[in-house]
Structure 1
Amino acid sequence: MFEIDALRLLVTVAETGSFTKAAVRLNYTQSAVSRRIAALEGAAGGALFERLPRGVRLNPAGRTLHRHALEVLDRLARAERELTVLHAGQGGLMHLGAFATANISLVPTALRALLDARPDVEVVAVEGPTDTLMGRLADGALDLAVVSDYPYGLPSADGVTTSVLCEDELFVALPREHRLASAPVVDLRELRDEAWIQGAYGDRPTMLADACARAGFTPRKIIRIAEWAGKFGYAAAGLGVALVPSLAADAVPASLALRPLTDPSLRRTVHVALPATPLPAALKLRDLLRDAVT
């Protein structure tokens, strides 16, 4: 209903008390100011100024609109300032996503470095599986995500680019009293009789299923536990064994032993995913993530 330029003109006329002085300040002609104020008064449904022998002043309707005009212009000015620092990478809001084990050490380390370097950046962090994070990037809901190709491979998403961050080896977590807990390396065939603790991935083939098939067996039992704390608890109680990525090693309790496996394919690739037009702060975080894994 009201154009921004018209509201700015209203404020300037109110400040100067004169159409002529407002015209000089805004580099308009006096007649142009008169026409635009008349158009604004038409949109407002009545006069906004009292015409005095020398100049003008706001009437009650004008004071009402003037108050709102000041609020609108102030909000726009603040938005412009925030956008300036956002595009410069020095501040603003950034939405970050990561899968669970990346949030144990990798992402917090890089994020701490980002906030130390650029304290005016405000980060909103979410956690989720890779396919969900890639979808949110494509929808514009995230500015950067840390994703992986485990357990189903890396999905593609429109307008999203990915770059390899690191290779993440998968270990087997065994209770300390397990017969293989002190072995230098474990062959999957030695675990053919174990129950396996996995996330709630559904029925699609997983990296573990493929590796077991290459080793000549099918896991006798799969226990579905969604959260890592639960997986560790089940494994520590001797109810099964679990694949654990090296990124999660810092969170593994002392009651479990992590042992490497002989199958070289049991590793995942971790990626940084960005939208087509990334924020400068997101590019800075990408670089800090790379620093964190070197």
Structure 2
Amino acid sequence: MFENDALRLFVTVAESGSFTEAAARLNYTQSAVSRRIAALEQRSGGALFDRLPRGVRLNPAGRTLHRHALEVLDRLARAERELAVLHAGLGGLLHVGAFATANISLVPGALRALRDARPEVEVVAAEGTTDTLMRRLSDGALDLAVVSDYPSGLPRADGVTTTVLCEDELCVALPRGHRLAGTGRIDLRELRDEAWLQSAYGDRPTMLADACVRAGFSPRKIIRIAEWTGKFGYVAAGLGVALVPSLAARAVPGTLAVCRLTDPALRRTLHVALPSAPLPAALELRDLLRAAVDREE
């Protein structure tokens, strides 16, 4: 209903108490100020000022509009400042997504480094599957995401670019007292009689199933537990073993042993996904993620 310039003029007249003074402050003519205030009063449905022998004074309607005008102009000014900072890469909101195991150590470490380097950047974190994260990037809801090509490849998303971040080796979690817990790399065939903890449901092929086929056997038993904490509990109780991404190794409790496997195909590739026009802060976070990977290697 009201133009921003008209509200600024109205506030200036209210603060100065004079059309003439407002005109001087804003480099308008006095007649231009009078016309614009008259137009604003017409749109408001009535007078906003009491005309005095010397100057003007807000009437009740004017005081009401003045209160709201100050709020509107303040919010617009803050929006302009935040946008300027955001586009300059100096701060603002940064929406970051990652899949679950990337959020155990890799992403939090990079976000801590970003906070130290750019405390004015406020991160909004989200967790989800790769499909969901890529879709949210395409929709503009995320500014960066760490995604994986497991289990069904990296999905395409309009307006999203991806670069390889690292490979994530899959290991096996065993109880500390397991006969193989103290050995080096384990051949999957040595675990053919074990029950396996697995979170995937339905008939979708899994990396474990493919690896077992290559090793010449089928898992004796699959126990389906969705959350990592539950899987670790079952392994600790000696009820089965579980594949664990190296990304999740720091979350494995001390009651378990994490051992590497001989099958070179038991790995997945991590990618950094960005919109086609990424924010400067997103590019800085991408570089910090790469640096974190380099330190681990």
TM-score relative to the length of structure 1: 0.94
Cα distance in 2 for partners of 1:153, 1:240 equals 28
1:176-203 deviation per Cα after TM superposition (whole angstroms, max 9, x unaligned):
2222222221122222222211123442
Matches within 5 A, 1:14-163: 14-163=14-163
Cα distance in 1 for partners of 2:275, 2:201 equals 26
Cα distance in 1 for partners of 2:167, 2:32 equals 66
Residue number in structure 1 paired with 2:179: 179
Residue number in structure 2 paired with 1:195: 195
| Stretch of structure 1 that moved more, 228-237 or 181-190 | 181-190
User: Residues 106 and 289 of structure 2 are in contact (CA less than 8 Å); yes or no, is this contact kept in structure 1?
Assistant: yes
Instruction: Give the deviation of 1:121 after TM superposition.
Output: 1.4
Corresponding residue SS for 2:155:
coil
Corresponding residue SS for 2:154:
coil
Instruction: Look up the equivalent residue of 2:93 and give its one-letter code.
Output: L
User: Residues 169 and 268 of structure 2 are in contact (CA less than 8 Å); yes or no, is this contact kept in structure 1?
Assistant: yes
Corresponding residue SS for 1:293:
helix
Cα distance in 1 for partners of 2:153, 2:189 equals 24
| Stretch of structure 1 that moved more, 235-244 or 19-28 | 19-28
Instruction: Give the deviation of 1:5 after TM superposition.
Output: 1.1
Corresponding residue SS for 1:165:
strand
Cα distance in 2 for partners of 1:70, 1:257 equals 63
- Find runs of 4+ consecutive structure 1 residues off by over 4 angstroms: none
User: Residues 162 and 273 of structure 2 are in contact (CA less than 8 Å); yes or no, is this contact kept in structure 1?
Assistant: yes
Residue number in structure 2 paired with 1:234: 234
User: Residues 152 and 207 of structure 1 are in contact (CA less than 8 Å); yes or no, is this contact kept in structure 2?
Assistant: no
User: Residues 195 and 240 of structure 1 are in contact (CA less than 8 Å); yes or no, is this contact kept in structure 2?
Assistant: yes
Corresponding residue SS for 1:223:
strand
Q: Any gaps of 5 or more consecutive residues in structure 2?
A: none
Instruction: Look up the equivalent residue of 2:87 and give its one-letter code.
Output: H
Corresponding residue SS for 2:250:
helix
Corresponding residue SS for 2:270:
strand
| Stretch of structure 1 that moved more, 260-269 or 49-58 | 49-58
Report the CA distance shift for 1:217/1:142 in structure 2 as closer, same or farther (over 3 A). Answer: same
Instruction: Look up the equivalent residue of 2:252 and give its one-letter code.
Output: V
1:75-134 deviation per Cα after TM superposition (whole angstroms, max 9, x unaligned):
111111122222222221112111111112111111111111111211121222211221
Residue number in structure 1 paired with 2:293: 293
Cα distance in 2 for partners of 1:276, 1:91 equals 20
Instruction: Give the deviation of 1:15 after TM superposition.
Output: 2.0
Corresponding residue SS for 1:239:
coil
Q: What is the aligned-residue identity percentage?
A: 83
Corresponding residue SS for 2:181:
coil
Instruction: Look up the equivalent residue of 1:228 and give its one-letter code.
Output: W
Cα distance in 1 for partners of 2:69, 2:133 equals 40
Q: Give the number of equivalent residue pairs.
A: 294
Cα RMSD of the aligned pairs, angstroms, is 1.6
Report the CA distance shift for 1:202/1:9 in structure 2 as closer, same or farther (over 3 A). Answer: farther
Residue number in structure 2 paired with 1:276: 276
Corresponding residue SS for 1:33:
helix
